[in-house]
Chains A and B, each alone.
Chain A
Amino acid sequence: MGTISLNLDNVSKSFASADTNNITHALSDITLRVKDGEFLSIVGPSGCGKSTILRLVAGLIVPTTGSLTLNGEAIREPDPKRGMVFQKPTLFPWLTVEQNVAFSLRMLKKEENGAVDRLIQMIGLSEFRHAYPHQLSGGMAQRVALIRTMINEPDVFLLDEPLGALDAFTRMNMQDELINMWNEKKQIVMMVTHDVDEAIYMGTRILVMAPRPGRVVDDIPIEMDYPRNRTSRQFLTYRKKIMEMLDFGRAE
């Protein structure tokens, strides 16, 4: 595995609203170094710019100031190297499961070498390969969205609350599934979540953020082996620490 390095240098992002002259400072002066094998969980109250970081790394938006680079190359626009999974599955409703998964290969004019079948089998949806998205449950659809991005074997996997809309059981299954996927390829994963437990359960490192302006208040490495025990003393210590930090962020 070659080395992957994602760098954010003094990145700020502000938004101007269309009608009034209000400027919102979504992110202020973020500097971040992430390398392969890291699973970065990002937590924080809403409005702290968690999703903005992902969208910047994805290249869907450009920074107001500062720079982002992946392996030394500046990030300017979306690239399949930086795959993103959204909170909603955003499957293309007019394509079947199979066609959705193959979408990226078609766009990039890459050859299909059995990866579509393999991935669909991996998530246990072989029987649904010809189904349309509206025939899938939320969990199934999100799994399809995941492998649709995975098919490009991205260096950076951006997950914007991908499990937020799922029920507790599906969610726990998917958490393990994601950890497995990352264990296999050891790429960079950046995952935004509202759920502190999820952040600790999955991440090698947790970024705690605060709003107005969006900024990083702490960067906590999680030193626990996988699979992690959600009720171990160590887990709960991390949990307490982060919860207190988030309370502090809200009180401000």
Chain B
Amino acid sequence: MSNQTGIDLEGAKEKAGASSLDGLTRQRLLELESAPRTKAQIITDYVICIMPFIVGIAAELEYYFVPNYGSNQITKVYPVFLGILMAAIAVFLGIGLYHKAVFTKLREKAPFYTLIFVLLIAYDLLTLKSNTLVSPYFPYVDQILNAFFTDSAYLIESVRCSLILLFTGYAWGAGLGLITGIACGYNKKFNYWLSPFLKLLGAIPSVTWIPITLVLMKTLFQASTFVIALGVWFAMTIACITGIQNIEKANFEAARTLGARGKQLIFHIAIPSIVPNIFQGLTQGMSTACMALITAEMIGSDAGLGWYITWQRSWAQYAKMYAAIVLLCIIFVSVNGILNAIKRRVLRWKEGDER
């Protein structure tokens, strides 16, 4: 029994190690370990955090007091927009005064926020104030913001169409890619018949097929879906094959000695093992899908943001075109953000993701 106590002792030691610095947060720990900050450094931190406001106010003043070029008209939308940005940062700073971690975060982000305001001032000077970047190709920010309101019905409809198309194609591609990828990784015969096609398709961007799909498919929507799905399917299949080839053999052996058989080995060992690869495929597939989406909409569609962009350009409505481009950026960034958030949640078990 002596050994039993030996184990308990070790368990107790582990416990003591965890609790001797009770209530220690990561923030507190960093503070304890870092060199004390001088007064000058602390003041610099605050100045940097306030910089975005100073430059933001400068942007407002520049907008109102620098004379406009020619007959350029301005509205209140841009200053309100600047105000909202500054208010958001103010809330950030307000919380930061009470929470050290938030303040540290703001201190890290503040220089970049400042840069955004600097860029806004610079762009405003180059367009609205001097026409250095020539109108109508380079509308000033106020015009772009106004375009969101004047054409909101069309824009919302376009976003809806684009999202439906994107996710229909993405879902088909990811689903089929998962199946063929696992089949190819697992089954030599499948791999024999499919891998030549994979090599062929992989060399060509999927948007190449748009002209052909336009002829073959019944509707424009189907043709666009197909092109998007094709790119995602390819990325997904390759990721799954690579994943299966790199599965730890020892995991299969351990599972077999523990009684796992046939399908259980696929569902409980193979698939969980390749989840990191699946996410890699999903991320890569998303970027090709976004590219294919816009190309498909610009060339062969009659709805969606890509179509809206070409349509407004043909009417020389550049402000509206830019508005649509901004929306695209927002959509793509948020879609990728959501994907990454899901990935972090699902891959919690992966080494290094925790600490």
Does B8 contact A60, Cβ atoms closer than 8 Å? no
| Bitwise interface map of B from 265 to 292 toward A, beta carbon under 8 Å scored 1, else 0 | 0001100110100000000000000000
Of residues 209 through 225 on chain A, the ones whose CB sits less than 8 Å from some CB of chain B are: none
Q: Judging by beta carbons under 8 Å apart, are A173 and B254 in contact?
A: no
A134 and B8 alpha carbons, distance in the complex (Å): 22
- B2 and A93 contact, CB distance less than 8 A: no
The reply to whether A177 and B3 contact each other, CB–CB distance below 8 Å, is yes
Indicate whether B14 reaches chain A with its CB closer than 8 angstroms. yes
Q: Which of B6, B248, B258 contacts A80 (CB 8 A)?
A: B258
B11 touches A124 (CB 8 A): yes
In the complex, are the beta carbons of B272 and A92 less than 8 A apart?
Answer: yes
Decide: A123 and B253 in contact? CB cutoff 8 A.
Answer: no
**What is the CA–CA distance of A96 and B354 in the complex, to the nearest angstrom?**
14
How far apart are B71's CB and chain A's nearest CB, in angstroms? Answer: 65
Query: Which one, B253, B259, B348, B354, contacts A108 given CB within 8 A?
Result: B259
B255 CB-CB contact with A under 8 Å? yes
Interface residues of A in 5-30 (CB under 8 A from B): none
Which of B253, B255, B348 meets A107, CB within 8 Å?
B255
Residue among A94, A106, A133 with the highest chain B CB neighbour number at 10 A:
A94
Binary per-residue interface labels of chain B (238-254) against chain A in the complex, 1 for a CB within 8 Å, 0 otherwise = 00000000001011011
Contact (Cβ within 8 A) A176 B257: no
A84 CA to B252 CA, complexed, in Å: 12
- Cβ-based interface call for B350 (8 A): yes
In the bound assembly, the distance between CA atoms of A93 and B348 in angstroms comes to 10
Q: Is B188 close to A, CB under 8 A?
A: no
Interface flags for B1-38 (1: CB within 8 Å of A; 0: not) read 01110111011001100000000000000000000000
Q: Is residue B208 contacting chain A, with contact meaning CB distance below 8 A?
A: no
Closest chain B CB from A108 CB (angstroms): 5
- A58 touches B (CB below 8 Å): yes
Assembly CA distance A67 to B349 (angstroms): 42
Decide if A50 is an interface residue (CB 8 Å cutoff): no
B350 to A173, Cβ gap below 8 A? no
A contact residues, range: 35 or more
What's the minimum C-beta distance from A141 to chain B, rounded to whole angstroms? 12
Judge whether B260 is part of the interface by a CB distance below 8 angstroms: yes
Contact partners of B258 in chain A: CB under 8 A: 80, 83, 103-104, 107, 148-149, 152
Q: How far is the CA of A173 from the CA of B350 in the complex (A)?
A: 29
Does B44 interact with chain A (Cβ within 8 Å)?
Answer: no
Nearest chain A CB to B156 CB, angstrom units = 41
Report if A235 contacts B (CB, 8 A).
no
Q: Which chain A positions have C-beta within 8 A of B348?
A: 132
Contact of A247 with B by CB under 8 A: no
Q: Is B100 close to A, CB under 8 A?
A: no
Check if B3 sits within 8 Å of A78, measured CB to CB: no
Contact A58 B257 (CB under 8 A): yes
The interface residues of chain B lying within 8 Å CB-to-CB of A77 are 256
Q: How distant is A222 from chain B, measured CB to nearest CB, in Å?
A: 19
A113-164 interface (Cβ within 8 A of B): 123-125, 127, 132-135, 145, 148-149, 152
Which residues on the B side are within 8 Å of A92 (C-beta)?
Answer: 251, 254-255, 269, 272
CB of A88 within 8 Å of the partner chain: yes
CA separation between A44 and B123, bound complex, in Å? 77
A-B contact pairs, 19 of them (CB 8 A): A58-B257, A78-B256, A83-B257, A83-B258, A84-B257, A88-B250, A90-B250, A92-B255, A94-B275, A103-B255, A103-B258, A125-B11, A134-B349, A134-B350, A134-B351, A152-B258, A152-B259, A176-B6, A180-B4
Interchain residue pairs A-B with the least CB separation, the first 10: A176-B3, A124-B11, A134-B351, A104-B258, A78-B256, A80-B259, A90-B254, A132-B349, A84-B257, A107-B260
Chain A interface (Cβ < 8 Å from any Cβ of B): 58-60, 77-80, 82-84, 86, 88, 90, 92-96, 103-104, 106-108, 123-125, 127, 132-135, 145, 148-149, 152, 173, 176-177, 179-180, 227
